[in-house]
Amino acid sequence: MRMSNRGRLLVLSGPSGTGKSTVVRGLVQHSDRLRLSVSATTRSPRGYETEGVDYFFLAAEEFRRRIVDGEMLEYASYNGNYYGTPQDAVDAWLDEGYDVLLEIEVQGALQVKERRPDAILVFLVPPSMKEAEARLRGRGSEDDATVRARLAIAAGEIRQAIHYDYIVVNHTVEQAVEDIGAVLRAAHLSAEAMEGHLENLLAECPL
Amino acid sequence: MRMSNRGRLLVLSGPSGTGKSTVVRGLVQHSDRLRLSVSATTRSPRGYETEGVDYFFLAAEEFRRRIVDGEMLEYASYNGNYYGTPQDAVDAWLDEGYDVLLEIEVQGALQVKERRPDAILVFLVPPSMKEAEARLRGRGSEDDATVRARLAIAAGEIRQAIHYDYIVVNHTVEQAVEDIGAVLRAAHLSAEAMEGHLENLLAECPL
């Protein structure tokens, strides 16, 4: 098949308190052409987690081998465990024509951009920091110090957002999902992605 | 106001037989944020044409002065007359936050890209050359030699389409209008266009 039928890699990041996971759910429900990438980790599965659905659970030795052999699109270590995106599953979907969504941190997103310059990086932000704070407090599970720490981390992440391709404000889930949908739709219409169609047209033309 | 509220310049080209004018009509009806640029020309007005609506009708001397003084976004001469886009009207709309649509030839589009690298160039193509031929013949007003000449010109234009940012196939007017709508929506979400929102967020953050 032509490049134009290949899927696109879509990376979504955003600080906590932006409603990112709701937007991800909306995106996946919204499109039957979009697949959500499954991360790999070396941490132990929790009781409700399923291999290959929530995570690919790997031994640390195997995870390190994949890093060294360039089989991880991005990775990070956190709390003594590795987390990352195995590229074989992603590439299989892209080849089948699916767009693949990676919901990952800023560090990982910039690694992906380095390895795959055609990846589309979208950063989701709250309408205001006040709103982000209200969402964090609304969860009710975090004390004041934790909320303030999260907001400070959020500010640090927002400072990196300028390295992304697109910034989407999460005013409402519907609008954010439509915004990201427009970004993906436009990406499939780039002159590069459409080169195949142009060639087909020219092949029809008499010299 | 911040850059993010400024409109975007959208340039649409496409060979004859692609249904371009119907798509332009659809686009303008579809969005109350989009204005259609009015061209200037030195040719005489026809009976049904209104100054400032169909064209700005200018004397050749005045048109040449504007070219020399850099007041034309693009221009061409055709059949002994000048045609072009006066940039003052375009910029006034962009400043007011309107997106501005220029429906112009390939030559003019490339001039615009040169002067305004942030202009979005969209090239509209038919699903197939067969389809373009059928549309040309469907008009009923052109003989076989004219249709073949137009198709040859179309092929030449399609060869230039790779210099555009986006290629939209006109399968149906609705789909083409939505595709171009997605391109515009995405353009307003670029990290550059959204810099103002990021700055506002960071201004809210404690150091």
**Percent of chain B as helix, strand, coil, to the nearest 5:** 45, 20, 35
Angle, to 10 degrees, between the axis of helix A20-30 and the axis of helix A173-187?
60
Place of tokens 């999460």: A170
Q: ipTM for the complex?
A: 0.91
pLDDT in tens, chain B (207 residues): 344 578 999 999 999 888 899 999 999 998 889 999 999 999 999 999 999 999 999 999 999 999 999 999 999 999 999 999 999 999 999 999 999 999 999 999 999 999 999 999 999 999 999 988 888 888 777 788 888 888 899 999 999 999 999 999 999 999 999 999 999 999 999 999 999 999 999 998 765
Amino acid at site B50: T
Question: Does any domain span residue B63?
Answer: no
Question: Does any domain span residue A186?
Answer: yes
CB A58 within 8 A of CB A89: no
Question: Does any domain span residue A17?
Answer: yes
**Percent of chain A as helix, strand, coil, to the nearest 5:** 45, 20, 35
Residue A46 buriedness (CB in 10 A; 0-12 / 13-18 / 19+): exposed
Q: Which residue of A has its CA nearest to B120?
A: A190
DSSP A29-89: HH-TTEEEPPPEESSPPPTT--BTTTBEE--HHHHHHHHHTT-EEEEEEETTEEEEEEHHH
Question: Does any domain span residue B173?
Answer: yes
pTM: 0.91
Q: Which of chain B's residues have a Cβ under 8 Å away from the Cβ of A130?
A: 204
Question: Does any domain span residue B61?
Answer: no
Total count of domains within chain B: 1
Question: Does any domain span residue B107?
Answer: yes
Residue among B179, B187, B201 minimizing CB distance to A158: B201
Token duo for residue A140: 């009710």
CB A5 within 8 A of CB A115: no
CB B87 within 8 A of CB B112: no
Q: B70 CA to chain A: closest CA distance, Å?
A: 29
Question: Does any domain span residue B69?
Answer: no
* CATH code of B167's domain: 3.40.50.300
Q: B14 CA to chain A: closest CA distance, Å?
A: 12
Chain A interface residues facing chain B, Cβ-Cβ under 8 Å?
123, 125-126, 128-130, 151-152, 154-155, 158-159, 161-169, 178-179, 181-183, 185-187, 189-191, 194-195, 197-198, 200-202, 204-206
Question: Does any domain span residue A45?
Answer: no
Which residue range forms the structural domain that includes residue B128? 3-37+99-204
> Measured between alpha carbons, how far is A200 from A188 in angstroms, rounded to an integer?
17
Cβ of B125 within 8 Å of Cβ of A201? The answer is yes
